[in-house]
Structure formats: C-alpha cells, structure tokens
Amino acid sequence: MKLTLKLTPYNFAYLVYPVVYVCSIPLTLLLKRYNGTIAHTFPVNFIESYIVSNHGYMWFTGLYWILAITLGYLPTKDTVILTRYTKIYLINTLWILILLEWFFGSPIFERISVFAGATCSAPGIFREYECKDNGGEWNDPFDSSSHYTFLISSSLLVWYLIVTHVSWVTDYLSSHVPDLEVGISYSPVEETQSKVSSAYKTVRTIVEIVAVVLLGIWFISYLTTSIFFHTIPEKLVGLICGLVVPTLIEYI
C-alpha cells in the first residue's frame, strides 16, 4: 500500500526554508569567497539597507497588522481572531528582543558570541555596542545569523496569514504542488465577499499583492544570505531560532 504524505500550504512554506538551507551548503562552500562583491551590488545593498537590516521589523510589523486586520478581522469582525494574531505578534517580538536586543543584559546571540570567544579591544567590555561606543573593536569569531532569524520568522508569520485567508494563493499552491491539501484553518473570502464593498475588495487585493511582493523580496535576501554570507553553523543557529515561533504557531 502506498503511503502518501499530505501537506498543508503552511507546512509547505515552512519546509522551504530548512530545505533551502541544506541545499545551499555546497553553493556556500563554492561561492562564499564572492560575498564582498555581492554585498556591494545595488539590489543586494538596497534590500539590505532599506528592507531587511535597518527597517526590517518595521516592514514586518506594518505588513503583519495590515494583513491581520484586513484579512482576518474586517470580513467577520471576529475579535477572537484578532486577539490570537496579537498574541502571535507579541510572542514573536519578545523572542526577537531576547535574541537580538536584551536578555537580562546581553541578548542571546551576543552571549553565544562571547561564549565562542568574542572580545573587545577595550578591556573589561563584553557588549558589542558598548565596545564600539568606547572606541574599541569587536572581534567576533561566531556571528549567529540574525538575518536568518528575522527573514524566516517574519516570512512564515506572514505566510501563515496569507494561506489562512487568501484563496488565490492557496489555490495556486495546491494546483502546483503534488499532494498539497488545504489546511483546516483555511477560510476563503468568497463566503463573505458578496457582503462587503467594492472599496474593501480593492484594498484587500492591493494588500495581498504587496504582501506577496515583499515575501518575494525577503526570499531573495534569504537565498543571498544562504549562499554568500555567514558560516554554515552561524546560519544553522539563525535557522533554528527563526523557526521557533512558526513551529509553535498552532499552539498560540
């Protein structure tokens, strides 16, 4: 008897990121020496400067709440859905803060760096920002990939909203990926669309397209990071940390 594994659209999106990480390992070994050249190309530099590093969480926050309200709350005015999406966002934000900003002092990623041997040229300083503020040089032998963590967690939370509420994306995936089935959380808009205004439909369509475009840009950045930047172990740490909240999302 043939055993067929069925995936939901969210499961499929979830698996893409670790699969890309594994498949990129041989490419990293071959092409990482070109990372200096790649980093200074206009598309990579633009995405890095304006969409990922400097303003990444702002983009994610804006997109997440626009999707949560436009797709999740407005069609039925269901406060239970909005409350759940609020909890998901707050838990993810807290996790990112613990990893990258503060955890009773140094954040987790910085603690990993210090444990791996990171030092400041100025004596008695064990924090990167404090080191640089005091004119020191931070020597970090292990730089956990915060890019990976941000791109994976942000992308998958946005994917979760899209595949839960956007029928044309789910239908496209279901028709192009073998043995992919619609998840139980899926709620197509067609059931309520006849009751809403044309203005809402227009806004909704624009929001959906913007979300898919931004996901595409983030994925390009993810591919670039996978191949050209960070070591394989540094990306593994970022991958594991980036998957924590998306893994637990059904239990929140």
Tens of pLDDT, residues 109-131 = 999 998 888 888 888 787 888 88
Six-digit token pair at 28? 């990293």
- Count of structural domains within the chain: 1
Q: What is the pLDDT of residue 193?
A: 52
- What would the 3-class secondary structure string for 43-108 be? HHHHHHHHHHCCCHHHHHHHHHHHHHHHHHHCCCCCHHHHHHHHHHHHHHHHHHHHHHCCCCCCCH
Q: What is the pLDDT of residue 135?
A: 81
The residue count for the chain = 252
Structural domain for 198, as ranges: 9-104+145-251
Q: What is the pLDDT of residue 198?
A: 84
Residue 140 falls within a domain, yes or no? no
For the full predicted model, state whether its pTM sits above 0.85.
Answer: yes
Six-digit token pair at 97? 């803060």
Q: What is the pLDDT of residue 2?
A: 47
Q: What is the pLDDT of residue 126?
A: 78
Residue 230 falls within a domain, yes or no? yes
- Regions of the chain short of the pLDDT cut 50: 1-3, 183-191
Residue 90 falls within a domain, yes or no? yes
Let me know the angle formed at the C-alpha of 162 by 160 and 163, rounded to the nearest 5 degrees. Answer: 70
Q: What is the pLDDT of residue 171?
A: 79
Residue 131 falls within a domain, yes or no? no
Q: What is the pLDDT of residue 132?
A: 82
Residue 95 falls within a domain, yes or no? yes
Six-digit token pair at 130? 């404090």
Residue 114 falls within a domain, yes or no? no
